[in-house]
Structure 1
Amino acid sequence: MELAINPSKIISPLCYSVLRLEPYTNCAYSCLYCYARWYRSGRIKPRARAIGMFAKVAKKLDLRIPFRLSTLSDPLQDIEENAKVSYKLMKIAMDNEIPIILSTKSDRIAKNPWKSLIEEMAKDGLIVVQVSVSSLDRNELEPKAPHPQNRIKALESIDAPKVLRLQPLIPNYSFENAEEFVERVKDVADQITTEPLRIERGEIEFYGKFWSRWSNYSFEGELLKADCYEILEELSVACKRYGLDFGLCKEGYFHLETANCCGLHMIECELRPTLREVYKILLEKREIGLDELKFEGYLFVDVLSKLPRAIRKALRFHEKLFLKCLKDNSCLSHLTPLIRFEDGKLKLINLDRNHPSKP
């Protein structure tokens, strides 16, 4: 699907922002850990067709549904200086009042014309800027990207809703102390969102020098993730102490979060329901039947019929898989330790403090 991330048992139940804009065919930063390297190859080229496709859909879209810019390449890498595909996509979004989640490792957000456009969009609640780092000081795993401190300075300089993404969180590489990390960036961003490192099984030897505990990320067991609940908990506590929102990307520890992972609560937009909404319902009711889930105020069921076909079709595919996962305990247990489907009902599970990743 050109304008949407493909449905999957991980993305469909956990992600709000499944609509995407891909301005370039590849990424010059070539970070060693980048998951997208498994999906792309070849020269970096502008995807000019993305401009026309988005413009066509944008004119028909009446709801403020967020698009992510982007998922498979950095939207503000050096080729953007001349091609300006991302700038043109952002301009279309602004003209049609469509929110953008701008995700980048570039410091180009602090330069015009991008900075002025970002700040103009921010005045109308049309953008959240996310800057990713894997460390505040180390750069050996992303040597072609701007130094982390340059990214931090760039993020600090713009007037817009801001999320610092600790992505990936690499235990014993990203920082030595969670509270010290948060204290250093507390005045830079409104929120910290964290995504533990995901790797291929064959990369354990390389990343094993940093961390020894891994669990399955993909359902097939081909991809692993750093199993580091205690570090996520420390980050959550530190963010609360310093007044920052905290989100987790594709993790099921909803009790640690104070905001959604994308920072979309900081702008005015429509959201699709995820497992987070199920968790919030269960906090009040403890258990609920599938037929009782209504998700009022979200992009769900009949609301989707009003959308342009390309968007409607994508969101319905994701919705169908999301609902399927809700009644599949093997799927639920893989995604979160907090929710189970038993006796025809979704139920809230209390965490065992000694084994926080297990019910």
Structure 2
Amino acid sequence: MSSSQPSPSKSAAQGPSSPIADAAPFSLSAREPHVPADRLVAEMVPPPRFDSVRFDTYIPDPQQPSQPEAVRVLSAFAAGLGPAPEAGKRRWFAKKAPVKASGPRGVYLDGGYGVGKTHLLASLWHATPAEPQLKAFGTFVELTNLVGALGFRQTVDTLSGHRLLCIDEFELDDPGDTVLVSSLLSRLVENGVALAATSNTLPGKLGEGRFAAADFLREIQGLSAHFRPLRIDGEDYRHRGLPEAPPPYTDEQVTKAAYATEGASLDAFPALLDHLAKVHPSRYGALTDDLKAVCLTGVTPVPDQSTALRLVVLADRLYDREVPVLASGLPFDKLFSEEMLNGGYRKKYFRAISRLTALARDAKGLVAQ
């Protein structure tokens, strides 16, 4: 657990003259979590939102034949991995003899937003016949953060004892991360680790539309050889047959809901953005520990790219943990400028909008009618 302690909200909009609840809501801006490296490893499992998903709980769109085909291919992939030798006896940092891989050692789920890629990836993790400590699941950002915490050699030793590594939202945003992940996955493949990943772009196209793409195109092509691409077509299920996202509420409504909801946080949006710059993204999960709802006042457009990318990570952690988000100010589809939405990180921004919109729907019940 995080070492941070709940604190009364100082930066959020002021509440009513008489408190609605005995305790003031938390403030994310007052939290400074410290996360030990062993927690980063132990938490490499599907997040709470995807803890109970399975292949048979995936509901394919009948208009998209690629979706049931993905279930078939991934089920066979999981079965083909087989139980690991001496399952349950290996330790995180145990080494094993390298295994020569023949052909792709992984599968790459490519598709748009909300077609169920993470659902399928988590289902693969659950279906793989190995003990939980011999399977790892994390986002691309979490994987790079793990390398930063443990060091490259220790990360290779740690993950080489696994049967499967699942990487969600595989995105290469700079040459440094490209070289790092390319080297890591190559070493893991040599040691017999199976790979699975999701993204919104085919492996051979990962660098297109990104900064300095020419500088690391060769590394991207090397990565693509490790994966069998599996296309998943369809529309965003988060908006399929669902009502439109609720419009933003007033500052007063958000503040009252925060005081009336046990375990809620309350922050002014600009202050929270400032605070995110002081917390490493690997700690954003710990930043949300024990939260039941996030209440934000005065949502405004994100001022710059660095701030926007930090907000994307926070949105991912909140979505993984199913934390509803109640907000006043601008609607979430106005967070990012047209320049940002047309730039190299557009896929991340559209994902954040989609996920925050879903969490805003979840928060409707927090406001008294």
TM-score, normalisation: structure 2: 0.29
Higher helix share: 2
TM-score, normalisation: structure 1: 0.29
Bigger Rg over Cα: 2
- Larger RCO (CA under 8 A, 6+ residues apart): 2
